[in-house]
Amino acid sequence: MHTIYLDNNATTRVDPKVFEAIKPYFTELYGNPSSMHRFGGQVGGKIREARDQVAHFLGCDAREIIFTSCGSESDNTAIRSALEAFPEKKHIITTAVEHPAILSLCTHLEKKKGYEVTYLSTDEHGRLDLEEYKQAFRPDTAIVSVMWANNETGNIYPIEKMAHIARENGVIFHTDAVQAVGKVDINLSAIPVDMLSLSGHKLHAPKGVGALYVRKGLAFHPFLIGGHQERGRRAGTENTTGIVALGKACELAQTNMEAENTTVKALRDRLETGILQAIPHTRVNGDPENRLPNTTNISFGYVEGEAILLMMDQVGICASSGSACTSGSLEPSHVLMAMNVPFTFAHGSIRFSLSRFTTQEDIDFVLQTMPSLIENLRTLSPFSEEKEAPAITKRFAK
């Protein structure tokens, strides 16, 4: 059975060019990059090249890049570093729609360390209120952490404006750009972002590598303490293959940025429009004007997302539910609930996320398959057009 992979916000296929670039570092060039001998030294040189590639892609200095193991480590390092730099400050600003890498850490800091966290709200399209944001600052605010783009809806947030406001208030600004990198033009030399997290496997590098940008001159405290690697800012022998891959992936992402915003966006729009036209009681969740070009989050009323995913899997289509069904919970997505999406629609939400490897044939197959799939599930649902449904659900039905 052919696999239609539309779950690229979860992880991406390693680009064959990236794979070719890293193969020698498994079996031939396996020296420790910190070694004094030339065999290891040549690997150290390749890491420097990868650091230059990442820095060039982000518009910053190579010395401002710290390689990590993933986006979550980068996020944890950024927030913990800011709190350690300003131990007298006990307040954090973030949003209610962040990735668990931020939300779970903030909850931990509240419960275990006595910090106070302001969670910015959103409107029904997932947009932030900048006036609420301006009012959230306090004299003891240590850091603001706001994602550049939402992993579930694809919403793009006004990071440049928010970073300027944080700078005016003398507060460190961090952004989790894991979903934005490779799809949104980022030039860190032009905006006052202090720290930025990214992850390799979201842009066609392997899992297990990430990076943290730290603006030059910013007080920094390492999360992992030990060896001298990364100029003493992140201990542990470097993940050579991952780092080389990340450098190559950034180079390729720069080349493919236009295609992401034209070709991939056109496929996303065709998928979205086709589903909305063919299937009644559907709605798109998110900001219609500011979204990632590869993402659409669609709610199918009167049916559960978990059941949709299982049926899609039977025909080879991979996507994600907007709810936490896959983790065994029946609670809908915290992102959609923050947007006040009606419960029965939030429960039936599916995130389709495309990549530059998605084809026209993939989209055609999904459009041919989804109408009958949803129709069959609705015949089994306790709610339908003919049956009584919660009033709040009817209000949003198309």
Q: Summarize pLDDT for 341-364 with one digit per residue, the tens.
A: 988 888 899 999 999 999 999 999
Among residues 253, 268, 302, the one where a domain terminates is 253
Say yes or no: 246 and 371 in one domain.
no
For residue 396, the model assigns a pLDDT of: 33
CA dihedral 364, 366, 368, 371 (to 10 degrees): -150
Report percent pLDDT > 90 for the chain: 88
Q: Under the phi-then-psi rule, with left for phi > 0, alpha for psi from -120 to 50, and beta for the rest, what region is 232?
A: left
Antiparallel, parallel or unpaired: β 320-321 and 116-120:
unpaired
Say yes or no: 331 and 353 in one domain.
yes
For residue 177, the model assigns a pLDDT of: 98
Sequence-distant (6+) residues with CB within 8 A of 233 are 66, 214, 220, 222
Say yes or no: 31 and 132 in one domain.
yes
Say yes or no: 69 and 206 in one domain.
yes
pLDDT in tens, 208-223: 999 999 999 999 999 9
Say yes or no: 288 and 269 in one domain.
yes
Say yes or no: 163 and 304 in one domain.
no
- Please tell me which residue in 60, 70, 250, 325 is annotated as part of the active site: 325
Which tokens in the block code for residue 256? 């493919």
pTM for this structure?
0.94
For residue 387, the model assigns a pLDDT of: 54
Antiparallel, parallel or unpaired: β 317-318 and 4-5:
parallel
pLDDT in tens, 288-340: 999 999 999 999 998 989 999 999 999 999 999 865 444 455 577 899 999 99
Among residues 192, 218, 253, the one where a domain terminates is 253
Candidates 356, 325, 388, 338; CA nearest to 124 is 338
Residue at 387 is within a domain = no
Say yes or no: 159 and 236 in one domain.
yes
Residue at 119 is within a domain = yes
Mean pLDDT of the region 24-51:
94
Q: The CATH number of the domain where 65 resides is what?
A: 3.40.640.10
Sequence-distant (6+) residues with CB within 8 A of 373 are 308, 311, 312, 315
For residue 4, the model assigns a pLDDT of: 98
Q: Are 236 and 227 in contact (CB under 8 A)?
A: yes
Mean pLDDT of the region 50-67:
98
Domain of 284?
A: 4-9+256-380
Say yes or no: 140 and 246 in one domain.
yes
Residue at 320 is within a domain = yes
* pLDDT at residue 18 greater than cutoff 90: yes
DSSP 160-183: HHHHHHHHHTT-EEEEE-TTTBTT
Say yes or no: 203 and 305 in one domain.
no
Active site residue 325: yes
Counted domains in the chain: 2
For residue 393, the model assigns a pLDDT of: 39
Antiparallel, parallel or unpaired: β 295-300 and 91-95:
unpaired
Instruction: Share the mean pLDDT of the chain.
Output: 93
Cα 261–267–271 angle (5° rounding)? 135
For residue 329, the model assigns a pLDDT of: 57
Among residues 228, 253, 278, the one where a domain terminates is 253
pLDDT band at 42 (very low <50, low <70, confident <90, very high): very high
Phi, psi of 386 (to 5 degrees): -80, -25
* pLDDT at residue 130 greater than cutoff 70: yes
Residue at 391 is within a domain = no
Say yes or no: 72 and 172 in one domain.
yes
- Distance, in Å, from the CA atom of 128 to the CA atom of 131, rounded to the nearest integer, reads 9
